[in-house]
Structure 1
Amino acid sequence: MKRFITFCLITTLLILSGCGSKNDDSVSVIGGADGPTSIYLKENDDSGNYTQIDQETAKLMMELDDGHVIVDVRREDEYAKGHIPGAILIPNESIGTEQPSELPDLDQIILVYCRSGRRSKEASQKLADIGYTNVYEFGGIVDWTGEIVTD
């Protein structure tokens, strides 16, 4: 019963927080006693696009041990001034038509952010165009209310 209530609360939170993308998404959350254990946000088509999510959804996804990677697409100097814990740096300008060596799995969950959200949208679309299937863009660090670390 406790799991069902947790599941309902998290599902309601995701729906009310405006979790969405450019297309209609199907949202599935599998909750455990201590919070979510899985969150699935999949596009309804194979359009080669990324999924845009809000920062609260990104935080929930970061809590999961699902093999996700957090990608900061700002410049190295911006990253050094402060970044989300565990984020790897792949500057937007370095993403072309070839698969970045830091992201060997095309099906891995990739959470992308930048400073304000402009570069993260560009980088997310480039990653989707390369063939990555689980790219989630969540805006800029200027709006981030979670922890930030410096080098």
Structure 2
Amino acid sequence: MKRFFVSMVAACMFIFTASFGAHAGTPVSKKKMEIAKQHIQQVTPQKAAEMKGAIFVDVRSLPEYKAGHIPGAIWAPRGLLDFKALKWFKDKSKTYIVYCKTGGRGSISTYDMVQLGYKAYNLKGGFLAWKKAGLPIEKGAPAGLGKGVEK
């Protein structure tokens, strides 16, 4: 009986993972991403690297940021960006390139910034695309931990 139960749990987990994927998100997050992507501009890693003076905004978690980020990127966690953007990013005339791991959280955060009047782009494919393109990365805690402010 125990073996049957374990087999059933494993089968259910396999079906769930195959159907929805490990990082598929919720119906709410999918809808937010859909809406956001209709109202934002995306930029490839190569183009982003060429954008002189652009400020990179990393909206991932602190452990993700510490494990590797775009050099000079400001850590501004997604969960706080909605509340702190106006305090953290005072200059709306600057260009901001927002990113997460693959583009989902980044697109939602970019949309939030655009709605607040910033010139913001989402990094297409996120940090993984940047890394795959062989562009520079650095590791470690952000300067001004938790402040998310421009340098």
**RMSD across aligned positions (CA):** 1.8
Query: CA 1:119 to 1:106, structure 2 compared with 1: closer, same or farther past 3 Å?
Result: same
Q: CA deviation at 1:97?
A: 5.3
User: Residue 45 of structure 2 corresponds to which residue in structure 1?
Assistant: 55
Deviations 1:63-94 (A, max 9, x none): x2x3x211011011110011010101001111
User: Does the aligned pair in 2 maintain the 1:98–1:130 contact within 8 Å?
Assistant: no
Q: Say whether the 8 Å CA contact 1:97–1:130 is kept in structure 2.
A: no
Q: Where do 5+ consecutive residues of structure 1 fail to align?
A: 1-21, 24-48
Q: When you count helix as a share of all residues, which structure comes out higher?
A: 2
Structure showing greater relative contact order (alpha-carbon pairs closer than 8 Å, 6 or more residues apart)? 2
Q: Name segments (4+ residues, structure 1) moved above 6 Å.
A: none
Residue equivalent to 1:137: 122
Task: Specify which structure has the higher proportion of strand.
Answer: 1
> Which deviations, in whole Å up to 9, do the C-alpha atoms of 1:41-70 show, x marking residues without a partner?
xxxxxxxx4321111111111xx2x3x211
Distance in 1 (CA, whole Å) between partners of 2:138 and 2:85 is 27
Task: Give 2:24's aligned residue.
Answer: none
* Structure 1 residue 98, shift from structure 2 partner: 5.4
Report the identity percentage: 30
Greater radius of gyration (CA): 2
Task: Give the one of 79, 101, 121 matched to 1:115.
Answer: 101
The correspondence of residues 25-104 of structure 1 with structure 2, limited to 5 A, is: 49-61=39-51, 64=52, 66=53, 68-96=54-82, 99-104=85-90
Higher mean displacement: 134-143 or 84-93: 134-143
TM-score, normalised with respect to structure 2? 0.60
CA distance in 2, matches of 1:77, 1:102: 20
Q: What is the alpha-carbon distance in structure 2 between the residues aligned to residue 86 and residue 98 of structure 1?
A: 19
